[in-house]
């Protein structure tokens, strides 16, 4: 086999592998874009009280995506508790409100904590929003 034929085979092999890697990239990892805003039903609560957690999300991309929406509460003493975690499908430009009812844990520290929502496309953090919650 000549050196030129070998070079052509190597270049074609590299091009094929590069093309296959692009095809195997999930669509959700290709150009995701989202904005979010989180608000609560109350700003002050006590242990065991229900709190409505609402996260408004807008898909600002030009194609369909599935985003992971995770919401946590970090108490005044730094302890983080999971509120919810799920995937939401979006069409281009779609606005969705993700809501849940969550009960303040009995061991949450008194003081002002933070409810935080993150929106990601599986590989990249796209948006973060927070709302304060005072535990009394």
Q: What is the layout of strands, in order, in the sheet containing 65-74?
A: 44-45, 125-135, 111-120, 65-74, 80-90
Mean pLDDT value across residues 50-72 = 95
Which residues touch 14 (CB under 8 Å, ≥6 apart)? none
- Tell me the pLDDT tens digit for each residue of 106-121: 999 999 999 999 999 9
pLDDT class of 40 with cuts at 50, 70, 90: very high
Please give the mean pLDDT across all residues of the chain.
85
Q: Is the pLDDT of residue 13 over 50?
A: no
Q: Is the pLDDT of residue 128 over 90?
A: yes
Q: Is the pLDDT of residue 129 over 90?
A: yes
DSSP state of 29: G
Q: What is the pLDDT of residue 9?
A: 55
Q: What are phi and psi of 121, to 5 degrees?
A: -100, 15
Out of 57-61, 120-124, 126-130, which region has the weakest mean confidence (pLDDT)? 120-124
Q: Which two tokens stand for residue 73?
A: 């509460």
Q: What percent of the chain clears pLDDT 70, i.e. is strictly above it?
A: 77
What is the pTM (predicted TM-score) of this model?
0.75
What kind of fold does domain 31-135 have according to CATH?
Answer: Immunoglobulin-like (2.60.40)
CA–CA–CA angle 101, 102, 108 (5° rounding): 160
């Amino acid at each position: 086999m000549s050196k030129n034929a070998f070079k052509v085979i190597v270049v074609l092999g590299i091009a094929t592998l590069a093309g296959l890697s692009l095809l195997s990239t999930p669509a959700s990892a290709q150009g995701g874009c989202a904005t979010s805003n989180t608000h609560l039903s109350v700003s002050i609560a006590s242990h065991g009280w229900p709190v409505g957690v609402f996260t408004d999300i807008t898909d600002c991309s030009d194609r369909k995506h599935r985003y992971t929406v995770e919401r946590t509460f970090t108490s005044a003493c730094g302890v983080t508790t999971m509120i919810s975690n799920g995937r939401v499908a979006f069409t281009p430009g779609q606005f969705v409100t993700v809501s849940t009812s969550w009960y303040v844990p009995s061991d949450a520290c008194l003081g002002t904590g933070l409810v935080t929502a993150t929106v990601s496309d599986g590989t990249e953090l796209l948006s973060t929003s927070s709302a304060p919650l005072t535990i009394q």
